[in-house]
Structure formats: structure tokens, C-alpha cells
Structure 1
Amino acid sequence: MKNGLEDAVAAETQLSDVDGEAGRLIIRGVSLDHLVADGTYEGVAALLLDGLMERSFDEAELRGWLAKARTKVFVHIEATDDALLALPPVDAMRALIARLPDGEDLDIALGLMAAPAVFLPAVLRLQRGQEPIAPDAALPQAADILRMLTGKLPSKEQVSALDTYLVTISDHGLNASTFASRVIASTQAGLTSSVLAALSALKGPLHGGAPGPVLDMLDAVGTAENAGRWLGDALDRGERLMGFGHRIYRVRDPRADALKGALKPLLASGQVDSARGALAEAVEAAALAILKARKPDRPLDVNVEFYTALLLEALGFPRQAFTGVFAIGRTVGWLAHAREQALDGRLIRPRSVYIGPSPAAA
């Protein structure tokens, strides 16, 4: 037995392949760099769900269906009350998703893909004392999320950046939340139950909670000139450098490069504070140098969380909502894995090894 099921194979999948040695992510036979070149949320969703639902569809059809689904789920915002709004955003979002019907058909899946995209911006606005904004069925998902968050039509650079993020984190092998989704799906509980289980796993700080602390680290560093000294002191205190290292990747996380690339048009157009960008570059360079010097036997490089934090901050999301934004993109991966498990898998029932006391002799 390996604690944490390290290297245990628990499923066969056609959905994604994470090659930690080569630093490569493949989704349904397409490499990440090709997916993000001109990809949209609807495009990767259609790719992931292809052949797993009761009828086939393409990206354009899915865009229209998702727009209608966003409008449909918006009515559940009426269920928000003071107790719900006192919760962290991801918990409030989860409570609203739990109101959706359960089942296995495409309409259920569409509602689940639309729900976090609608519920998170609405919860954030209500927590700020603002009125929620209803979805616009004429817009694609990424553009509508940003409009519902800010009340303004986003720029093309902002839409492209969010689309890149949603594509980049749509699926990533058998991580903790995806495994939770497959376990629930194997019981035939339904897609809503699978997504709720996955979301509950995601909110744990060891899985989905690191992007926010990246910004805390940048705030603490303060200036580019202070980066090397602050990072060295943090390591001396035994602290982890947020946004560096990954359990799977032995080289640079390919998603980090995709998100760094998505930030460049925002920086070039002045939609991201140039000082913030320069600070991030300085922290990245200083961290890689000091980690290489101090931990030469451990492959520690930039992971997806470092540039996730900068990108989501630039798009106007508060750091306490980052886990919820991740769920917007990853829900389609959870759904695809749940359907794959329900169609081809068995009830997941691993064994445990008893290490307790033996019964006392009579």
C-alpha cells in the first residue's frame, strides 16, 4: 500500500493525459498549447463531452444551449439569504448548486456547467451589497461571466484571458476532486451529486486553495528589489514558496506558460498594472534561482497557481473567490469523468488493510 495512493492506477480514461516527466498535458488527443491557441470554454467542453452524452453536438450548439442554461439557473439566486451570503463564496456557490436536479442527461450537465458561472458572480456582488446581474444569452460563457461580475462588457483581451484560463484548467487527470467525482458516479447517484462531491474536495487547501496565497506572497515581497531577500528569509523559516512545485510535474507546469501568455495582451494594453507584472517576473526569477541552489535534488518549478493568481486578479476576481473560478472551468472535466465512469466503469470499492488491535482472548 502507498499512502495517498501514489502511482496507483484507478481508472482508464480517454479524457486527459498528464505527463509529469515531459511537462505535457493532452486533452482528448489535443495538446494544451494547441487548445489555448484559439480555444474557448465551449470548444473544450464540446471536446471533453464528445460521445459521453445521449446526443452529439458541436461547439456552436453548445454555446447556444449554455446561454439558455445560464438564464434558467439564474432564478435560484432568489434563494440567497443572509446566512448563505455569510459563507465563503465557494460554499455559497455549492449551496446553490445543491438546489439543481440530479440525473444523467444533457440538460442536467448543461445546468451544472452554467451554474457556477452564474452563481459565483451573483454571490460576489450580493456580498458587496450590489444587485446581481442576469445572464445575457447573446454572449459566450467567458464574456458573460465577466459582465455579470463587473456590470460592464469586457474587452476582447479580458475575454480571451478568461477563456484561456477555463480551457487550461478544464481537466487534469485523476486529481482529488476528479477522483471524488468518479467515485460518486460509480454509485449511479447522478451528475449533480458527482459535481458537489468534486467541489467539496476542491475547496480543501491542499487541492484548490493555493492561488490566493500567491498574491499574499507578492504583497509581502512588495518590490522587485526585495524578492531575493524575502524569499530566502521565507525558506529559512521553513515556509513554502506559493506557486512553485507540483506533485506530478517534474519540470515546468505547461499550464503556467499558457496563463503567462494570456497575461501578456492585458499587460501590453495597460489593463494590468505594469508594476504588478514586473514584481511577478522578479519573484519568479528569484524563486527559481534560490530553489535550484537550496534544493538541487528536488525539481521545483512554476506551477499553474502562480499565474492563475495574477490573471484572476487582473480580471477583477477577489482572491477569496479563486477556488470558485477554478470550479467554473473544471466542472466540465468532472462531468466528463463522471459520465465516463458511469458508462464504462464499475462501483469503485478499494480495500483497506486493518492495523488495529486483535480481539482479546475469551
Structure 2
Amino acid sequence: MTQRIEVPAGLNGVVAADTAIGAVDGDRGFFHYGAHDATELARRHSFEDVWFLVHNGRLPDAVEVAAFRERTASLRHIPTALHSVIDTVGRTDASMLSKLRSVLSVASGPLRLDPVIDVDHVDRRAQTLRLAALVPSILAALHRVGSGERPVDPDPSLGHAASYLHQTTGVVPTLEAARAVEQYMILTIDHGFNASTFTARVVASTGADPIDAVCAALGALAGPLHGGAPSRALDALDEIGSVDAAAAWVRREVAAGRRIMGFGHAVYRAPDPRSALLREVADGLGGDLVEFAAAVEAEILVTLAELKPGRPLPSNVEFYAGVVMETAGLPRSMFTPTFAVSRTVGWCAHVVEQAAAGKLIRPSSRYVGPPVEFAEPDTAVISG
């Protein structure tokens, strides 16, 4: 008989698998990719450097990253077979992540992606690299079609983040804007076994193809308690309107039992290191929105400390993520999709790792419904 282990609700603190990709230390306010502090990577490295790291398990040298940049840039072009799908789906009223899932659901053929159970490790890596390189191009094209504009072809001379900004807005970004978005994207490649990453690994464990795993992960990311928070945090700033109104707004939200988006975290007990770096990035961009956000953040922190003593609720990555992306020129409808652009790189690394493990993820449940009546088996001997 299989031994069953009782675990906390939400699997909090449960170790579900081994990974060499990265991890989060919520008590110390620290997370890393491989052996490297993730925030230091965002300060000192390009997106391609860190993509190479999670793809290969080590940082590249100058020659390797140049070749990797060239290779991933060559994979950004959307297959012709998907153009009509993007044109149709892009004109619908669905959310951007729903549109992306719709396009990806028919992309396995044009991308020639196979179930991970049917290919070897080398092919899995190649297929997931192709998928991660293509996602920003599809998202940007869907956005532009939905806005009544023509998609922009990827520019191979631009880095991954700058190309995504260019394809989305139609304007070659400034170095400052591109670097700001790039740093945000580096910070969101991976973050332990969050809901979307775990979802991707569950699907990969069945032997399905990488697109199946990424589409499932996108469904998890779409939830406002996961990837949908940056735009909601910025919406809250709009609703607050002025610094003087911040404290009263927080009191109303807390009294109504609503979450303050952009504050608190399921894992971090110490301050979120991503928030601190994005505050620096936002300060570097400057502007009225950045100054307003910083002043409102201070008021919210003071009010939350008063209302919830003994329960630290520092600002998290979502609070300044929205500020950085809007200041860099991205529309709010593309905030969560931008999260998906970077996190797809992490999901794909986890798909490859889970496929190599070769273990189906199949937990048990505890039945709490009405009592079950078991029929006694008929032991009568039938003679004939």
C-alpha cells in the first residue's frame, strides 16, 4: 500500500523535485540562478548572458555569448504558417495571454516540436530554445494587429529585450529604456517552483511537447495573484491619485479584505530583492510617475505596518515592475506578457530538466466528500 504524506495547503514548504536552475531563500531575501546572485546578474549582465546560463548551466565567455546572441536572434522570425492565425487571433477581444495560447496551440507543427518523451536531450534543448526565442515576436505581433498596426519584423542587430520593445512599439528604444526592460526581464526568468513553473513541470512530466507545457504555464501566469499583478499595482496608483490620499486608500482596501497588489509575497519574509533593484532602475529612468510611485510606496508601507503589526508586507517585484515598463514605453496590456517573455526562458529550462528526470508527477488527494458505501464482492460460486 502506498504511504501518503500529509502536506500543508498550497504545498507550502514541500520539496517537489530537485533543480539546478535556481532557487529562492525567502528568509534572507535572496534568489539565484545556478551559483549566481540573480540581482547581481541583472546589474552586470545582458539577457543573453543569463539565458545562456539557465540553458547551459554556466555563464558564457565573450565568444560564446556572441554566437548565442546570433543564434537566438535568427530564431525570432515567425513561421509563415502562423501569420494568418496571428492576424485572426490578434483582432479578437481576448486577453494577450489568451491570444498567445491560441497561437501557440497550433504552432507545434510549424515549429516542428515533438513530445519530450520522443526526443533526446539535445533535441529538447534545441526545440525549447526555438520556442523561447519566438514568444516575444508572437506577442508583439498580436499586440500590433490588435491595435490596427502592422507587425514589425525582428531586428537581428538588437538584443532580445530591445528587439521585443521595437517589435511591440514600432520604435527602436533608447539604450536606457531597453536596458531597464532587460533588467526586469532578467529578474523574472526564474523564481523557484512558483505556480506557473510547477505547472510547466507537471505537464512536461507527462511527456507532452514544450508548447503544451508553456501553454499550461501561461494559464497559471494569467492569474492576478501571479503574473497579473504589475498592471494592477499601477492601476492602484491611478486610483490613489495623490500622495495625500494613499493612507486612506490602504485603509479602505484592507477593511474590505482586498489585497494590496505590489506588497507582500508568498515566499519572502525579508524584502524582495527584485523590488530594490527595480526601484534603482526606475530612479535611473526618472520622471513624474517614478517620483509619485516612490512617495506612495512610503505611505503604503507606513499604513500597512500600522494596520498589520508583526506581519511585514514590503513592496514586491510587481510594484516597480509596472512603473519601469510604463516609463520605458510599454502599454499596460503588455505588462504580464512581458513577464511571460522572460519566464518562458525559465519554463523551457524546467521542461528540459523535468523531461530528463523521467518521472511523472502524480500526487494523491484526500477525499472529504460524503461517506462511501462499499459493496461486498459476490463470492458465490456459479455452477453450470
Q: Which residue pairs with 1:49 in the alignment?
A: 55
- 1:33-58 residue CA offsets vs partner (Å, 9 max, x unmatched): 32012222211110001159xxxx93
Per mean C-alpha deviation after superposition, the further-off stretch among 337-346 and 177-186 is 337-346
DSSP-derived class of the 1:13 partner = coil
Are positions 1:240 and 2:259 aligned together? Answer: yes
**Structure 1 residues 3 and 32 mapped into 2: Cα distance closer, same or farther (>3 Å)?**
same
- How far apart in 1 are the matches of 2:178 and 2:374? 69
Q: Which residue pairs with 2:107 in the alignment?
A: 100
Q: What amino acid maps onto 1:349 in structure 2? A: R
Given that residues 87 and 145 in structure 2 are in contact (C-alpha distance below 8 angstroms), is that contact kept between their aligned partners in structure 1? no
Q: What amino acid maps onto 1:163 in structure 2? A: E
Given that residues 165 and 330 in structure 2 are in contact (C-alpha distance below 8 angstroms), is that contact kept between their aligned partners in structure 1? no
Per mean C-alpha deviation after superposition, the further-off stretch among 225-234 and 190-199 is 225-234
Given that residues 47 and 182 in structure 2 are in contact (C-alpha distance below 8 angstroms), is that contact kept between their aligned partners in structure 1? yes
**Structure 1 residues 294 and 122 mapped into 2: Cα distance closer, same or farther (>3 Å)?**
same
- How far apart in 2 are the matches of 1:143 and 1:74? 23
- 1:141-195 residue CA offsets vs partner (Å, 9 max, x unmatched): 1111111112221111011111101100000000111111111111111222211
* Match for residue 85 of structure 1 among 73, 85, 91: 91
TM-score, normalised relative to structure 2: 0.87
Are positions 1:66 and 2:85 aligned together? Answer: no
Q: What amino acid maps onto 1:141 in structure 2? A: H
| Within-5 A mapping of 1:217-296 | 217-267=236-286, 274-296=287-309
* Match for residue 204 of structure 1 among 193, 210, 223: 223
Per mean C-alpha deviation after superposition, the further-off stretch among 3-12 and 103-112 is 103-112
Q: What amino acid maps onto 1:286 in structure 2? A: E
**Structure 1 residues 359 and 32 mapped into 2: Cα distance closer, same or farther (>3 Å)?**
closer
**Structure 1 residues 221 and 122 mapped into 2: Cα distance closer, same or farther (>3 Å)?**
same
**Structure 1 residues 358 and 73 mapped into 2: Cα distance closer, same or farther (>3 Å)?**
same
Q: Which residue pairs with 1:270 in the alignment?
A: none
- How far apart in 1 are the matches of 2:79 and 2:185? 20
Gapped regions of structure 2 (runs ≥ 5): 1-5, 117-122, 376-384
Q: What amino acid maps onto 1:7 in structure 2? A: G
Given that residues 243 and 302 in structure 1 are in contact (C-alpha distance below 8 angstroms), is that contact kept between their aligned partners in structure 2? yes
Given that residues 170 and 329 in structure 1 are in contact (C-alpha distance below 8 angstroms), is that contact kept between their aligned partners in structure 2? yes
DSSP-derived class of the 1:70 partner = coil
Given that residues 74 and 135 in structure 1 are in contact (C-alpha distance below 8 angstroms), is that contact kept between their aligned partners in structure 2? no
Answer with 1 or 2: which has the greater Rg: 2
CA RMSD of aligned residues (A): 1.9
Given that residues 200 and 214 in structure 2 are in contact (C-alpha distance below 8 angstroms), is that contact kept between their aligned partners in structure 1? yes
Per mean C-alpha deviation after superposition, the further-off stretch among 3-12 and 227-236 is 227-236
Deviation at 1:81, TM superposition (A): 4.0
Deviation at 1:322, TM superposition (A): 1.7
- How far apart in 2 are the matches of 1:352 and 1:58? 47
Deviation at 1:335, TM superposition (A): 0.9
**Structure 1 residues 235 and 352 mapped into 2: Cα distance closer, same or farther (>3 Å)?**
closer
Q: Which residue pairs with 2:40 in the alignment?
A: 34
* Match for residue 135 of structure 2 among 116, 123, 132: 116
**Structure 1 residues 343 and 155 mapped into 2: Cα distance closer, same or farther (>3 Å)?**
same
Q: Which residue pairs with 1:335 in the alignment?
A: 348
Deviation at 1:133, TM superposition (A): 0.7
Gapped regions of structure 1 (runs ≥ 5): 268-273
Q: Tell which has more relative contact order, 1 or 2 (C-alpha 8 A, sep 6+).
A: 1
Deviation at 1:361, TM superposition (A): 6.5
- 1:263-290 residue CA offsets vs partner (Å, 9 max, x unmatched): 22211xxxxxx22112101111011111
| Within-5 A mapping of 1:93-242 | 93-101=100-108, 102-103=113-114, 104=116, 105=123, 106-242=125-261
Q: Which residue pairs with 1:14 in the alignment?
A: 20
Q: What amino acid maps onto 2:356 in structure 1? A: L
- How far apart in 2 are the matches of 1:75 and 1:51? 34
